[in-house]
Structure formats: structure tokens, C-alpha cells
Amino acid sequence: MSGVWVFKNGVVRLVENPGADAVEGGGRQASAVRRKVLVHRATNEVITNYAALETKLRSLGWERYYDDPELLQFHKRSTVHLISLPKDFTKFKSMHMYDIVVKNKNSFEVRDM
């Protein structure tokens, strides 16, 4: 998990992109919010849905597991790695992207959009 812990109005929360919020009392304006995207390096394709991701992972030797109905899971027989993703693509966050990148070093990368 990466980001900055912010304490504001008696509540602590994790801000994943701290540059997106204006700094209170500092007089600085916030930079534009840049979201992260997962990119398949060979085709330079931005992964926009799980169907596209599953196609790319299968071509790299990953197999789909259907054990948990709440998750999309992929396993590669030659390793102990398991990729677990939320079933809903709108909950696909940068930590999931980096998990895929680490387990497929030369195939994917995370970029700012």
C-alpha cells in the first residue's frame, strides 16, 4: 500500500495520490489528478477491462481459478504466484496493477494517464 496518511477533522485516511488534494494553509494549488493505467508492453495496449487482461495473462501461461466468487484469481503452474483481483473492474486499483507488473516483469507496466 502506498500513499500518505492524512489527519483532517479528527479522521485519519490514506490518500493514494497526495498531489491531487489542495494543501490547506500552504497556499499551493493541487496538481491535476493523474490516474494509473496498466499497459501491455508488447502491444502498447491500455487494459480497460478484465476480458482483455485475461487474454494477455493466458498468453503468458496464467490459468484462471474459480474458487472464490468474490475474486478473479490467476495462477501460473511454474510458480507459486497468485494474482487476486476484485470481481468489479471499477475496484481495480494501482496496487493490483503493480502486483501484475511484479509477477510479469517484461510484459506489463503502470503509467500515469
User: pLDDT truncated to tens, each residue of the chain (113 aa)?
Assistant: 567 777 777 777 777 765 554 444 444 444 556 789 999 999 999 999 999 999 999 999 999 999 888 999 999 998 999 999 999 999 999 999 999 999 998 999 999 98
The DSSP code sequence of 22-34 is PPTTT-PPPPPP-
Query: Which residue shows C-alpha cell 496496487?
Result: 95
Residue 84: closest CA among 94, 70, 101 = 70
Confidence (pLDDT) at 104: 94
Confidence (pLDDT) at 19: 59
User: 37: exposed, middle or buried (C-beta count within 10 Å: 0-12, 13-18, 19+)?
Assistant: middle
Confidence (pLDDT) at 113: 84
CA gap 61, 51 in Å, rounded: 16
Confidence (pLDDT) at 24: 46
Question: For the chain, what are the domain ranges?
Answer: 35-112
Half-sphere exposure of 25 (CA within 13 A, CB side): 1
Contacts of residue 77, defined as CB under 8 A and 6 or more positions apart, other chains included, come to 61, 63
